[in-house]
Amino acid sequence: MTRAVIGIDLGTTFSLAAILRDGKPVILPNAIGELLTPSAVSITDDGTVLVGAAARARATTHPDRTALAFKRDMGTDRKIQLADRAFTPQELSALVLGAVKRDAEAALGRSIDEAVVTVPAYFGDAQRQATRDAAAIAGIPVERIINEPTAAALSYGLHERHRELRAMVLDLGGGTFDVTVLEILEGVIEIRASAGDTRLGGDDFDAALADLVIDSLAAEQRAGVREQPVARARIKDACELAKKRLSTAGVTRVALFDLPVGAQRIHVEHEVSRERAEQAWAPLLARVAAPIRRALRDADLRAEQIDEVLLVGGSTRMPCIARLATEVFGRLPLRVLPPDEAVALGAAVQAGLKANDAALGDLVVTDIAPFSLGVATGRRSEREIITGLFTPIIERGTVIPVSREETLHTMSDNQRELVIDVYQGEHSLVRDNTKLGSYRIRGLKPMPAGEQAIRVRFTYDLNGILEVDMTIEATGKTETLVIESGANRLTPKQLEEARKAIARLKFHPREALPNATLLARADALHVELTGTPRLELAEAIGRFQLALEHQDEAVIAQAREELGRLVELLRT
């Protein structure tokens, strides 16, 4: 039996898995038969962990027990408090990855041997290592990390590999934005440049719209809403739906009833036009435009030299994104790939390449270093030594895997040791860049300043792992630093402790997830309704809960179908 290697798109808003089947990437359904699994974790009152759609539905009713968008905090030391337990972003991501893995195994009818996991192209070293840690906690072997727009390019290039063209991928998801310039030539997909913003996505557009609605309230109500997590969560959720409606309508209305604000409940109703929304989004759209220009500059291309512009990510459905791309490139962008699925489909293609799938033939993809990598250096002026300067050894945009070498020299007479500080970034001063590691070289021969030479070689692989070799020329002695850990990287002991802690959690049974998800969605909708529809929904919820207590499968199925139809009807 061939090895089962899947591709996983670990997204800020949604996560999903795909596999290469008969030469074509296919999305694998989750436990409730859907293709997209919300990247959400919630803790119920009895301590049960919910992951996915059921957890996402509780975000408006139990915001203090639900975590969303934790991907943005990967690589940081932030802790997210849910009920009486604090989770790291890695642990929450591990819960999502674990759920995706179990669903994939159920869909395939076999265990998963390995996965290719995607990350934003502009994720730094700490964020990539945190993603690896999350996979390790979830018990998923991951040897290959791939950039999200590179994955989208693979999905696109699989069908276009016999063409010659330059394309730009604009990948705007729920929490991150990536831009990639690529060329396809004779079956080779070459990444020319990448840029992006790891804290820009659809969530920010929702929040800007929510601020617009909140600002329309009276001063006392406005202050109260900002202090109430439930009220803020409900407004933001309503604004997400309004944003989606504005993709096809010129005007929409945000209406919320019985919104808890302090000791009172208020009614919020605000009409929003697409034009007014886009005015509120103007600063965000400027942030979208900046990486596009930077990627073109790094690729040494003009906008008119791009043959096709590809939109990827659910947030590119907003008309203002397509219009911005049209203004920049002078042509309409394409949506030839399913926006929410393109990255996972490409990850499945990479998984197929890793498994040596014969159907992929001679397809080849190259990738690049998204950041410059270098060391801290100094320079001697006439009167003093200027320290803290950044000297790149591998420039951003360099095709990887790659190996580059620079020769450094001592700056003081009879210097007996040298500290090599490794940084990632684009600023001239190391204080403005991200420190990746440090190594102290001892045993230098006493020589005049500038005569002692140390060769520093950086080797950077496809998974974002940096190896630093330092050779003292006078002795020929070489020492090595492997940058696999940062300030927030988990040690093997911490990984094992995290795995055990996750294993001790009480999970909702997978087979009961369709019921839990429907109840959570119905409960969230019940909060928003008033009058007869609310009473009608409450009765259907009661009938479904009664059916669950009786545990008759036929009765449960009938009540579930009835409630599901009503929820869909009342949500439209």
Query: Which pLDDT value is given to residue 1?
Result: 57
The answer to whether residue 211 sits within a structural domain is: no
* Together in a domain, 460 and 334: no
Q: Where are the beta strands (DSSP E) in 431-546?
A: 434-442, 453-460, 466-472, 478-483, 506-507
Structure tokens at 366: 């190259």
* Together in a domain, 399 and 358: no
Task: Let me know: does 530 contact 556? Beta carbons within 8 Å.
Answer: no
- Contacts for 103-111 with beta carbons within 8 Å, 24 or more apart? 103/17, 103/28, 103/29, 103/30, 103/31, 103/37, 103/510, 104/6, 104/17, 104/19, 104/28, 106/31, 106/510, 107/28, 107/29, 108/4, 108/19, 108/28, 110/1, 110/4, 111/4
The answer to whether residue 206 sits within a structural domain is: no
The answer to whether residue 245 sits within a structural domain is: no
Query: Which pLDDT value is given to residue 250?
Result: 93
* Together in a domain, 20 and 168: yes
**Strands 506-507, 48-51: pairing kind:** parallel
* Together in a domain, 188 and 74: yes
The strand order across the sheet containing 453-460 reads 402-409, 453-460, 466-472, 478-483
* Together in a domain, 438 and 536: no
Cβ within 8 Å of residue 318, ≥6 positions away: 205, 243, 246, 247
**Residues with catalytic roles:** 9, 71, 148, 171
Of the residues 455, 475, 495, the one at which a domain ends: 475
- Contacts for 390-394 with beta carbons within 8 Å, 24 or more apart? 390/423, 390/425, 390/427, 390/428, 390/429, 390/430, 390/433, 393/456, 393/458, 394/369, 394/458, 394/460
The answer to whether residue 429 sits within a structural domain is: yes
* Together in a domain, 57 and 175: yes
The answer to whether residue 226 sits within a structural domain is: no
**Closest listed residue to residue 360, CA positions, set 28, 118, 27, 24:** 24
Tell me the pLDDT of the chain (572 aa) as tens digits: 577 899 999 999 999 999 999 889 999 999 999 999 999 999 999 999 999 999 999 998 899 999 999 999 998 889 999 988 999 999 999 999 999 999 999 999 999 999 999 998 878 888 888 999 999 999 999 988 998 988 988 888 777 767 788 999 999 999 999 999 999 887 788 889 988 898 899 999 999 999 999 988 877 788 888 888 888 888 999 999 999 999 999 999 998 887 877 777 888 888 999 999 999 999 999 999 999 999 999 999 999 999 999 999 999 999 999 999 999 999 999 888 889 999 999 999 999 988 877 777 777 888 888 889 999 998 877 778 888 999 999 999 898 889 999 999 888 888 888 889 999 999 999 999 988 888 888 888 888 888 888 999 999 988 778 899 999 888 888 888 877 555 566 778 888 888 888 888 888 888 888 889 999 999 988 888 888 988 999 999 999 898 888 777 888 888 889 998 999 998 86
The answer to whether residue 214 sits within a structural domain is: no
Q: For position 60, which CATH number holds?
A: 3.30.420.40
* Together in a domain, 323 and 176: yes
Question: For residues 553 and 22, what is the distance between their CA atoms, to the nearest angstrom?
Answer: 36
Q: For position 402, which CATH number holds?
A: 2.60.34.10
* Together in a domain, 112 and 176: yes
Task: Let me know: does 35 contact 362? Beta carbons within 8 Å.
Answer: no
The answer to whether residue 222 sits within a structural domain is: no
Of the residues 417, 451, 475, the one at which a domain ends: 475
* Together in a domain, 44 and 159: yes
* Together in a domain, 183 and 97: yes
Number of domains in the chain: 3
Of the residues 315, 349, 368, the one at which a domain ends: 368
Segments forming the whole domain that contains residue 75: 5-200+286-368
* Together in a domain, 347 and 377: no
Specify the pTM.
Answer: 0.86
The DSSP letter of residue 249 is -
The answer to whether residue 339 sits within a structural domain is: yes
* Together in a domain, 343 and 383: no
